[in-house]
Copies of this chain bind each other. A is one copy, B any other.
C-alpha cells in the first residue's frame, strides 16, 4: 500500500481564499452574452435586471485571474469543505488495474453535490444587495436544495421551479427544500406566461431545464426585489466552482500526485469547469499538459453532436444568447434519469476550450453508466449520483485500458454527488427495466432548426 491515505483532507488553513478565473488565461475568450433583440453584447445595466450586481461584474470579468472569496462565504465553506480527495484503492483492486484512481468527492453535504459552492456565493451577493429573494430552476434537485440551504442561511426567500420529470421522480427533494423554507413548483407550470405557452404547445411535456429557466427568469424580472440565479453554464458559476479544482490541486501538489487525465461529467458544465480550472490554467499557460475529458449522456449530447453557435439558454427564448455547443433550445431530452445533465447547451467557457482543442468529450449510455455506478458503490461504499456516474464509467474504462497496456496512469475524476434521491432510477436498473434513449439525427435536425438568427449577422 502506498503512503497516500484513502482520503486527503486539507486543513482549514489550506482552503482557497480566492477563486480562479480561467478566462484570464484563455487566449480566445468565451463570446459575450448577446441581447437577442439587437445582437449586441449585453451591458452590465441590461444584465442587472436579471442578476445581482456583483455577479454581473464577475460574469463580465475576462481578465482578473484571482478574485477574493468574501469572508462570509469562506466561513460557510468551512461548514462542509474541504471535500476529500479520495484514492480509490478498493476500486483499483476490484478492477485489477495498475492505474491510480482519484476522485474529488463533493457529495458530503445535504445538497448532495458541488452545487452549494455557487449557491452560497450567489445568495451572499443577493443579500448584500438588499434583495428580498431569488428564483431559480432545478433539474435533479441538487441545485434547488443547495440554493434553499443558502437562502435559509442568509434569510432570503427562495422560489424554485423544478423540472417536472424530476419533481415526480423525486418527491422527497421537495420536502428537503421545504424544510429549508423554499417554495417548489413543478415546471412547466401554469404560474407563468412562458409556462402556460409551453404547456399549450407541448401538453404532455416532462419539462426540461430550459423550460424551468424561462419560468424562473420571468418571475424574477416581474417581481420587485427578486433576481434570478443559475446553478450552471454561466461564467460566474464556473468561477465559484473553481474552489473544487483549487482544493484538488492543492491536495495533489501536497502529495506529489500528477493526474494524466482529468474526467468530469458535463451537463451545463459547472462541475467540470470547476474541477479542471487550475489544471486548465497550467495547460493554457504552457506549464504542464493534461488530458481533459468531458462526459455527457448519449441522450443529451451537446458537445459530441451539437453545434457551436449562439443560442438561448432557455426554451422560452427570453434569456440572452450564449455562444456554446448546443442542441438547440427546442431540444427536449427524453425523460432520462440523469436529470442534472438534461440541458441542451453547455458553458460558454468549456465550449470555447473544447472548440480550441484543449479538451475532449465523450457520450455514454445510461445502462452502462448504472452498471459502473453499481460496481463503484460496491467497491467504494458511496452510492453515486447518476450524473457523477457518467464520469465513473469513463474513469473505469480508462483504468481498464491501463490494465491492457500495463500503463500506471493517474486518473482524477469528479464525483460530484450522491444518488440518495435517485432511487427510482436505481430501481429501474435493479429491475432490469432501464432503457437508453439516443436522439436520432432527425430529432437533432428538428431541434437545430430552433437555433436563432442573430440580428446583424
Residues of A within 8 A of B (CB): 5-7, 9, 11-12, 78-80, 90, 108-110, 112, 116, 149, 152-153, 171-172, 175-176, 178-181, 374, 377-383, 418, 420-421, 423, 426-427, 430
Contacts and interface: CB of A to CB of B under 8 A. Distances in A.
A296 to B, nearest CB: 24
B79 A377 contact: no
A180 B419 CA distance: 13
B78 A5 contact: yes
A423 to B, nearest CB: 4
B108 A381 contact: no
Contacts of A381: 79-80, 109-110, 116, 149, 153
Nearest to A1: B75
A392 to B, nearest CB: 14
Given A90-B79, A381-B110, A421-B420, A179 B6 contact: no
Contacts of A179: 374, 377, 383, 426, 430
Nearest to A120: B381
A354 to B, nearest CB: 33
Within the oligomer, what is the number of copies of this chain?
2
Contacts of A421: 420
B110 A383 contact: yes
Given A78-B5, A110-B383, A420-B421, A378 B152 contact: yes
A280 to B, nearest CB: 29
Nearest to A6: B78
Nearest to A380: B79
Contacts of A153: 90, 378-379, 381
Given A153-B378, A383-B110, A420-B420, A78 B7 contact: yes
Contacts of A78: 5-7
Contacts of A6: 12, 78-79
B79 A430 contact: no
A382 B383 CA distance: 18
Contacts of A426: 175-176, 178-179
20 contacts: A6-B12, A6-B79, A9-B9, A79-B90, A79-B381, A109-B381, A109-B382, A110-B377, A110-B382, A110-B383, A112-B420, A149-B381, A171-B423, A172-B172, A176-B383, A176-B420, A179-B374, A179-B426, A179-B430, A180-B377
B427 A180 contact: no
A362 to B, nearest CB: 25
Contact of A108 (B108, B116, B378): B108
Given A5-B78, A420-B421, A427 B377 contact: no
Contacts of A171: 423
Nearest 7 pairs of A and B residues by beta carbon = A172-B423, A5-B12, A6-B78, A152-B378, A175-B423, A420-B420, A9-B9
B175 A427 contact: yes
Contacts of A374: 179
Given A7-B78, A79-B381, A178-B430, 16 more contacts: A5-B78, A79-B90, A80-B381, A108-B108, A109-B381, A109-B382, A110-B382, A110-B383, A112-B420, A116-B381, A153-B378, A153-B381, A172-B423, A176-B423, A176-B426, A420-B421
